[in-house]
Structure 1
Amino acid sequence: MLFDFGLLKTIWRETGTHPPFTRTPETDLVMNDEGSVLAYEKGGRPTGALAGAYLYHLAQMCALIKSGDLVLDLGCGPGNLLAQVAKLNPRAEFIGVDLSESMLALADLRFRQAEIPNVELQLADMTRLSQFGDASFDTIISSMALHHLPDISALECCFSEMGRVLRPNGRIYLNDFGRLKCRESVGYFVGRAAAGEEQALVDDYTQSLHAAFSKEEFEALVARYLQGRARVFSTIISPLTVVIKGGSSSPSLVPKRELDMIYRALPAPRKNDVQQLKLFLRLGGLPSAL
């Protein structure tokens, strides 16, 4: 069922005229706590709370990545999504960076167990990418990582670095939460996405939505540092999901058979997540790659 009463109430709240609530940064800007790390990793597994969103963004990323690309993943975390992207694009090379040693340890174990050879992991700060030269990467990707930055100054540094290391004709796909208007809306979306999940994941999701930057903040930084190389999209009515995309997509690059297999294996609530993202982002101007 695509709509529910709670969603309709949330839409009503979010269409009000009041401004978004004040951002509250994450309590732990670098996630190293073992319980939180394991809960987040579990949420990104094939049937976890993040699986539907991951599938939608996986398809979008695959539509941009070409054979021979060098791809940078900012805030790769435990590597759930990066592993899928790298496996479906074996002729591209990936560098995943994160500031959490615990996250990278899980990611390293994942890649070794799955025998995924085309990924290099680095402990690094996405606001300071001095280890990479100018115009180093064909593609930059990131999923649900930018809201972990402490403030708008750090976000600006991150966009400045992305603009520097991305090649002039490079491609980019970033997705993150956008700041909602009402704190009550946070409760609805957390309850819908994280029902039945461990409390650590519920708490992390709640903090993430309170720490989200606004769509307008993203638009200003894209205009300044990516200068026509990317656009900002969001879910219609309420910017729960914000996508920054640049470069031409190619339907021929999307491994539709493999993505369809992943979709069929999702539990019903996660399939609904995919369908809602497809609908509300398409209404926001972003066609689906699925």
Structure 2
Amino acid sequence: MTDERLERLRREADRLGFDVSTSVLENCLETAENLRTTARALDDRADVEVSTYPDVSSRGEYNELLAYYETARQRRATGPLSGLRVVIKDNISVADLPLTCGSKRIAVVPNTDATVTSRLLDAGAVLVGKANMDAFAFGPSGEFSDYDPVENPTYPDRVPGGSSSGSGAAVASGEAEIALGSDTGGSIRIPAAACGVIGMKPTHALVPRHGFVSFAPSLDTIGPLGRDIETVAKTLSVLAGPSIHDPTARDRSLPRFSEGFNLPENPTVGLPQEFFEAADNRGRRSRSERCQ
């Protein structure tokens, strides 16, 4: 621990008005060095290369896509997701397509796929393209992409939800059977609800995040959206599991999420009353109708 670094940190603490002991300052410097070492190790294992890309423009009837393959990409014809079209949120790496995170401040083309992209292709999915999103995954409504807002295919007078707005809209419009989104504080669940599709936020670290641009690493998760629960469950089974490129991914045996859909004839459903206190009459009627 060098006296120079310690003294610099002490001066900064004094400037900010913090009265901090020497032992705390030393612990801060040690923590910073450990984080630096970890970051370097992750960079060495990431195996994601990029090249610059000059221009990106949104596409699709609902502004849901930022880029797509002229000929949809498929690695193999058979697998649990055989023939199902998929779009991927634009904060996840897809080889040869621009990655922007919904912002014009970023414009790169990855030369390699994220782990989740590779797993979808290995499962027989047909990769269509990248989905629009609120810039840097920061927005709940789908209105804040630098490439213009996404429209809601299901309810045209309402926002599609965000930040995985293009993912929700692509599934709702029939552009794809599956979409990948990311969820930090609702970014899969909000557009799924707003567009009337199924969205799943997996347990943190269940799905590898190699090739993913993090917003809040301790909370970020990658997860699927689809038109029905079975498709979402099959997709999660494909995505989940450890990866050599992501040491934070959970390394343990996983259930087959697509199994166990044999519900009783008249299941009991619990609805927290507090969720509906601010709902309008249409929401209350919908709740009653669906639970009959």
Q: TM-score, normalised by structure 2?
A: 0.31
Q: Which has the higher contact order (CA 8 A, sep 6+)?
A: 1
Rg larger in 1 or in 2?
2
